[in-house]
């Protein structure tokens, strides 16, 4: 692939050339805060389907219940695939659908090559896949290689010392201090419940669990385990899936000498909280990248063997610092999720997105750090984080969607965000997420992921049209009577209709591979221009603050004098077709618009 060139208005091309792809970020001080220098960034012309795809994440237990048990299922999903087509999505990603005791919503898998009976059967899955293919949709599965459920047959046999499973997991006898047996080191599990080691009497050893005690870490130093992971991928490729979202990519390999991890020194974490320690021996290890590389080779070998001309892809999940995330591109991930609109630069605390400068910095930091020829991607929400409407505020829903769909590359969205669903409040008694249940009634809320996992709001009937049952696994948000897809399809202007319009625009060559120039203009406006020779430019403006802001588009090159509104946010009072001269555009508080140049009238 041709590496994207980076050119800059301020004649700084030599500096980028000097530093090649590892572009030095030029810092300007604006309002006392660092702003990455605005540059026009070239975007490589996409040659493969996934490079401009919209990926739609489905949370199976809350999408659509077909049999009235109050829990979503595969036939329910199949019955609603038309919604994805209506929205304009090309790829769906199913969060785990495998047999599981459901301690961690299916991320605790007891059989990697079957279906959770409450969700259906392998035949139901084949039907889902066949229906998706007919509708032109690709299907990606969530693959969770780091751990199995403690009910997986491999673990049961490993505990009992049955070969070849004895070394499938990370076992250790621990240490004896003053006559008392203790875990071998201070490692903590990510679910904030203390030690990552659990004693098993039957085996007379501790096993490692980086997540809940019911999610047992596989031993990736065992070649048999690596072979199993490849066989699992082959099983699903044979059934026809188009790729995988690989879960917990920073975790498979730990330092085998098991050293204690140093204290993080981060404020606010107690001794049992994961971030009390700095995870230098258990996370982001280089060996994980090598494992990813073997999966990449396996996927490509599969494609070469079946020789069907299909392109099979790997998305990777890693909350980490930017260099650790970017490295996944180099080792075979097509799309390492860009979580920097969700988490801070270390992938730990919530991202700071208080100002327009923050937003533009996040965009430019990602673009500038990507390796040559890589495809960008944008993520604002998922099943592990607050809903977009709650995190960013309901006034910013459309603006966020314009960022998501009109920045270059892959757009990743979570079911329900297209209609602006909000987090649902759950009481301590109602809470199911292990990450919250391991805390206590006084502090569970920030840890709980249940609020973003409640049923999809289809319409204003029983259980929001999700189920005929009025009792559902997680409660339906009471705002469903007014906030639902059916209503948003009926009214003239809605978040959903704006999403449809933005996705439609993604087929425009300017959005597919036009240059990107993101800047802060006016008092508080996030602005980005997409330009391509021979095409009308598209400019997106999002007033990030609760003040009117007046701006000019003269900062962008080659923008014609007159612009028309293609899409406008539902509260702005700005109408599609309205016209502006580029030198003076007044945007009401939080208004967001998509403009297109007019030169030939």
Catalytic residues: 247, 317
Among 16, 50, 107, 220, interactor with ligand NOJ by CB under 6 A: 107
Q: How far is the CB of 248 from ligand NOJ (least distance, A)?
A: 4
**Strand, helix or coil for residue 216:** strand
Instruction: Report which secondary-structure segment, H or E, holds 542.
Output: strand 538-543
Q: What is the DSSP code string of 3-17?
A: PPPEE-TTS-HHHHH
Binds 195, which of ligand NOJ, Mg ion, none (CB < 5 to 8 A, cut-off by type)?
A: none
By CB under 6 A, residue 343 contacts ligand NOJ: no
* 154 vs 170: CA distance, rounded Å: 13
Binds 104, which of ligand NOJ, Mg ion, none (CB < 5 to 8 A, cut-off by type)?
A: ligand NOJ
* 7, burial (CB in 10 Å: exposed 0-12, middle 13-18, buried 19+): middle
Binds 144, which of ligand NOJ, Mg ion, none (CB < 5 to 8 A, cut-off by type)?
A: ligand NOJ
Contact 71, 116 (CB under 8 A): no
Among 211, 337, 456, 580, interactor with ligand NOJ by CB under 6 A: 211
By CB under 6 A, residue 104 contacts ligand NOJ: yes
Tokens of 372: 């040559």
Contact letters for ligand NOJ, residues 141-170 (x by CB under 6 A): ---x--------------------------
By CB under 6 A, residue 197 contacts ligand NOJ: no
By CB under 5 A, residue 151 contacts Mg ion: no
Residue number of the CB closest to ligand NOJ reads 107
- Cα 183 to chain centroid, rounded: 34
Measured in degrees and rounded to the nearest 5, phi and psi for residue 440 equal -145, 175
Binds 384, which of Mg ion, ligand NOJ, none (CB < 5 to 8 A, cut-off by type)?
A: ligand NOJ
* 118 vs 121: CA distance, rounded Å: 9
**Strand, helix or coil for residue 499:** helix
**Residue 251 or residue 378: which is nearer to ligand NOJ going by CB?**
251
- Using CB under 5 A as the binding rule, the residues of this chain from 65 to 104 that contact Mg ion are 65, 67, 69, 71, 73
Kindly determine how many residues on this chain lie close enough to bind Mg ion according to the rule CB under 5 A.
Answer: 5
**Residue 93 or residue 107: which is nearer to ligand NOJ going by CB?**
107
By CB under 6 A, residue 247 contacts ligand NOJ: yes
* 344 vs 102: CA distance, rounded Å: 30
Contact letters for ligand NOJ, residues 127-146 (x by CB under 6 A): -----------------x--
Q: How far is the CB of 417 from Mg ion (least distance, A)?
A: 23
Interior/surface letters 248-271, b for 16+ CB within 10 angstroms, e for the rest: bbbbbbbeeebeebeebeeeebee
**Residue 229 or residue 519: which is nearer to ligand NOJ going by CB?**
229
Q: How far is the CB of 466 from ligand NOJ (least distance, A)?
A: 21
Residue 7: strand pairing partners: 40
In the chain, % helix, strand, coil (3-state, to 5) comes to 30, 20, 50
Binds 289, which of Mg ion, ligand NOJ, none (CB < 5 to 8 A, cut-off by type)?
A: none
- Using CB under 6 A as the binding rule, the residues of this chain from 358 to 417 that contact ligand NOJ are 383-384
Contact 171, 195 (CB under 8 A): no
**Residue 291 or residue 593: which is nearer to ligand NOJ going by CB?**
291
Whole-Å CA distances, 214 to 105, 169, 409, 438, 473: 12, 13, 37, 13, 21
**Which spans of this chain sit near ligand NOJ (rule: CB under 6 A)?**
104, 107, 144, 211, 247-248, 317, 383-384
**Which spans of this chain sit near Mg ion (rule: CB under 5 A)?**
65, 67, 69, 71, 73
């Amino acid at each position: 692939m041709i590496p994207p060139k980076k050119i800059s208005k301020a004649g700084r091309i030599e500096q980028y050339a000097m530093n090649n792809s590892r572009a030095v970020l030029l810092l300007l001080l604006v309002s006392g805060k660092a702003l990455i220098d605005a540059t026009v960034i070239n975007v490589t012309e996409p040659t493969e389907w996934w490079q401009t795809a919209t990926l739609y994440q489905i949370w199976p237990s809350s999408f659509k219940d077909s049999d009235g048990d109050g829990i979503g299922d595969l036939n329910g999903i199949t019955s609603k695939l038309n919604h994805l087509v209506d929205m304009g999505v090309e790829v769906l990603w199913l969060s785990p659908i495998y047999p599981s005791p459901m301690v961690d919503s299916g991320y605790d898998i007891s059989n990697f090559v079957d279906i959770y009976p409450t969700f259906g059967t392998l035949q139901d899955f084949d039907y889902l896949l066949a229906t998706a293919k007919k509708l032109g949709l690709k299907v990606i599965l969530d693959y969770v290689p780091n751990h199995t459920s403690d009910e997986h047959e491999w673990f049961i046999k490993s505990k009992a010392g049955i070969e070849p499973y004895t070394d499938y997991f990370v076992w250790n006898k621990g240490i004896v201090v003053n006559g008392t047996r203790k875990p071998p080191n201070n490692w903590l599990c990510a679910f904030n419940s203390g030690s990552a080691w659990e004693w098993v009497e039957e085996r007379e050893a501790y096993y490692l669990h980086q997540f809940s005690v019911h999610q047992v870490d596989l031993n990736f130093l065992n070649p048999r385990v690596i072979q199993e992971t490849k066989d699992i991928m082959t099983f699903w490729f044979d059934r026809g899936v188009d790729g995988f979202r690989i879960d917990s990519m920073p975790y498979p390999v730990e330092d085998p000498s098991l050293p204690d991890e140093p204290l993080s020194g981060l404020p606010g974490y107690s001794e049992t909280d994961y971030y009390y320690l700095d995870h230098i021996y258990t996370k982001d290890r280089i060996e994980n990248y090598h494992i990813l590389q073997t999966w990449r080779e396996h996927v490509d070998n599969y494609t070469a063997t079946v020789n069907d001309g299909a392109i099979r892809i790997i998305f990777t999940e890693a909350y980490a610092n930017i260099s650790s995330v970017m490295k996944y591109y180099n080792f075979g991930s097509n799309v390492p999720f860009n979580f920097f609109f969700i988490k801070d630069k270390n992938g730990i605390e919530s991202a700071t997105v208080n100002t327009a400068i923050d937003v533009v910095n996040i965009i430019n930091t990602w673009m500038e750090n990507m390796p040559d020829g890589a495809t960008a991607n944008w993520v604002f929400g998922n099943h592990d984080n607050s809903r977009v409407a709650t995190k960013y505020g309901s006034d910013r829903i459309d603006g966020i969607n314009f960022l998501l769909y009109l920045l270059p590359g892959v757009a990743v969205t979570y079911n329900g965000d297209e209609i602006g669903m909000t987090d649902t409040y759950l009481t301590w008694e109602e809470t199911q997420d292990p990450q919250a249940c391991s805390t206590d009634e006084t502090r569970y809320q920030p840890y709980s992921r249940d609020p973003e996992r409640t049923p999809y709001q289809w319409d204003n009937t029983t259980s929001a049209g999700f189920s005929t049952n009025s009792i559902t696994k997680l409660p339906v948000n009471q705002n469903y009577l007014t906030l639902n897809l059916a209503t948003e399809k009926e009214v003239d202007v809605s978040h959903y209709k704006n999403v449809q319009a933005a996705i439609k625009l993604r087929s425009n060559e300017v959005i597919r591979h036009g240059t990107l120039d993101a800047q802060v203009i006016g008092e508080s406006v996030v602005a980005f221009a997409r330009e391509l020779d021979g095409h009308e430019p598209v400019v997106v403006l999002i007033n990030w603050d609760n003040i009117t802001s007046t701006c000019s588009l003269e900062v962008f090159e080659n923008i014609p004098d007159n612009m028309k509104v293609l899409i406008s946010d539902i509260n702005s009072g700005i109408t599609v077709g309205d016209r502006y001269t580029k030198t003076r555009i007044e945007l009401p508080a939080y208004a967001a618009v998509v403009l297109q140049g007019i030169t030939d009238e």
